[in-house]
Amino acid sequence: MAKNKEAPEDLLDIAVVGDITDREAEICDKLLAVPPGGECTMYFDSPGGSAYTAVSLLTLIVIRELRVTGIVTGECSSAALWPLAACCRRIVTPFSVLLFHPLKWQSEEHIGLSEAAEWARHFGKLEKDMDKLLAQYFGTEESRIAEWMTPGRYVTGTEMVAAGLAEMLDLSALANRSAATGASRRASAPGPVSGKAIGRNRHGGP
């Protein structure tokens, strides 16, 4: 008897929902569960998070050579843009929104003037480097990213597609297909069962 071939492993779905820094450990664990060079799908609805988390997730995807499909189901803004840019395929809807804005930082600790100046210097350089990295992975001009970043702009899914940075998911077509499938199922479903038929089934006779 021929040995059955093993079924291919199911693709992993990863929800990137909420602040990516709050969920960094969970998202990293799921990305690490994908074999190097493997495929997965990331669903984005996130307002962003830490700049360091943004670079960390992008690096994890790139260094493991993961083939990720990124789908923006709602919002993908701020720091969440970097892991989206690392996806080899990006899908949006007309209702997707992506907020590009300058890097922000804050400290809840009391720090001296010299330390604050060092933070400002560091983040000034980090912002330029990260914007350049974002343009590289989106595969677009740095000038386009700069235009969206300053002073900050909400970019729609439609604009992302027009810029050649994503594919469009037509929700209207999916709704029509869903309605057609529902109608087909209703047409093929058995008719209502009468009370008399139920009685016969229960008692084995009329």
pTM: 0.76
The region, left, alpha or beta by phi > 0 then psi within -120 to 50, assigned to residue 141 is beta
pLDDT digits (tens, 9 = 90+) for 177-198: 766 666 566 656 665 544 444 3
pLDDT in tens, 18-58: 999 999 999 999 999 999 999 999 999 999 999 999 999 99
Average pLDDT over residues 115-133: 76
**Structural domains in the chain?**
12-103+123-176 (3.90.226.10)
Q: How far is CA 125 from CA 120, 164, 174, in A?
A: 9, 28, 44
* Mean pLDDT value of segment 9-25: 91
3-state secondary structure of 73: strand
The answer for residues whose C-beta is within 8 angstroms of residue 161's C-beta and 6 or more apart is 92, 167, 168
Reported as a pLDDT band with limits 50, 70 and 90, residue 2 is very low
Residue 39: φ, ψ to 5°: -115, 150
- Mean pLDDT for the chain? 83
Residue 113 three-state SS: helix
